[in-house]
Structure 1
């Protein structure tokens, strides 16, 4: 073939020029992709870093393109909570084992919040509306009603249990945020430092004014977060059991 007959694509690139690489194809924007990306930002950077602009940046697009799929940050948080709540495994409801099953549900939720701590801030004041939330609410509420608890009292019991689970997780999320702000990455190191400050301060209190706090500071700080969670959960479940109608 004559040199003149070569197509332009066959002309070699001069050695002083960089060859252009084709950009990888973008994933098609969707609500699922936005939620997935939002959760990734939430887990890695924290609640305060999450915004529609930040999610758009992570997706290499403009914020305006997100609004065709998600109304705003508030809806994004609701969808993220729905997404992670879908990770919870629920057995077939057995009212004869209501306490065991309710404990299992609480531990599942606790584990989910440990995996995604900042999601707890999205869960506060959340009313079950999506499929995952409704599924969890139907399971827990139905468990107590079928076990014999009056529906109105069962509603109050589940409400208080849910608030305990989310509140405990929210406190953990605040500690994670403080740890990030301090530039620390190791949670054990952070909590060791945090408790050491409390111990030092309580021991400096005037003994005549605060004898119990000063004398029992080691007992006050002995239990870790997991111990405290399980103790509180047992208190709540035992309290619900005490109010369950006797057969």
Structure 2
């Protein structure tokens, strides 16, 4: 029989503290953690193991909420679509407002490193993505653009902003991390084009600086003007 704990010579052992129960994970927490990672290390830096480590758990606990990395990337893209600002729709300014939506979407993707890569080849079908599609369609239809042209134009605009944002993310890679290196690369390209044989490539040689020069924002705006301004020829009213 054990001695009562109050008797002399009996050493009382303190009870082991109970480990606090872990807060159950949610899909929203997983997506939020993945977005923090992608902004720093890009899509390739996102893994179930790395996300699980942030919550001091194992990767298997994530699969109850996200089936795969592909699904996670889709959820991440859907989440950032919710950050795209939509102006109060004013059909009288439909072309400028289409540009505003495109600029906002482009900037959101730029802010998330190479997440745009996940959107290429994917049909955006989540509520946040569809609200953007609905806004673009509403504006173009109100401007007199035929429904099929408006639908295809919306697809082209999505493709343009995602492809451009993804290309910009490539310049954030290790090889071109410093702005000075980007400038140096530009000057090297100009020099290369200006040394081309004039009898074979007269215009590439002559307009080398026009091809290489200009900021990324100005180039994006030109592409947007070509897409949105080109819709004028289809307007029926």
What is the alpha-carbon distance in structure 2 between the residues aligned to residue 142 and residue 194 of structure 1? Answer: 42
Q: Does 1:160 align with 2:156?
A: yes
What secondary structure is seen at the aligned counterpart in 2 of 1:148?
Answer: coil
Unaligned residue ranges in structure 1 (runs of 5+): 10-21
Q: What SS class does the counterpart of residue 60 from structure 1 fall into? A: coil
Count of aligned pairs between the two proteins? 231
- 2:26 pairs with 1:30: yes
Q: In the alignment, does 2:236 pair up with 1:239? A: no
1:189 maps to which residue?
A: 180
1:6 CA drift (Å): 8.1
The separation in 2 between residues aligned to 1:206 and 1:71, in whole angstroms, is 56
2:227 matched to 1:227? no
| 1:144-183 superposed matches below 5 A | 144-176=140-172, 179-180=173-174, 182=175
> In structure 1, which of residues 46, 61, 73 is the aligned counterpart of residue 69 of structure 2?
73
CA RMSD of aligned residues (A): 2.6
**Residue 14 of structure 1: aligned partner:** none
Q: 1:84 Cα shift?
A: 0.8
Q: Distance in 2 between matches of 1:102 and 1:56?
A: 39
- Higher RCO structure, 1 or 2 (CA under 8 Å, sep 6+): 2
8 Å CA contact 1:99, 1:241 repeated in 2: no
Partner of 1:18: none
| Gap change, CA 1:194 and 1:27, over 3 Å in 2 | farther
Q: Check conservation: 2:42, 2:115, Cα contact below 8 A.
A: no
**Alpha carbons 2:89, 2:139 under 8 Å: kept:** yes
Residue segments in structure 2 that go unaligned for 5+ positions in a row: 1-5
Question: Pairwise mapping of residues 1-247 of structure 1 onto structure 2 (< 5 A)?
Answer: 8-9=13-14, 27-176=23-172, 179-180=173-174, 182=175, 185-186=177-178, 188-246=179-237
* Structure 1 residue 4 displacement after superposition: 6.3
Once the two structures are TM-superposed, the CA of residue 27 in structure 1 deviates from its matched residue by 4.9
The 3-state SS of whatever aligns with 1:91 is: coil
Change (3 A) 1:112 1:219: same
Distance in 2 (CA, whole Å) between partners of 1:6 and 1:99 is 82
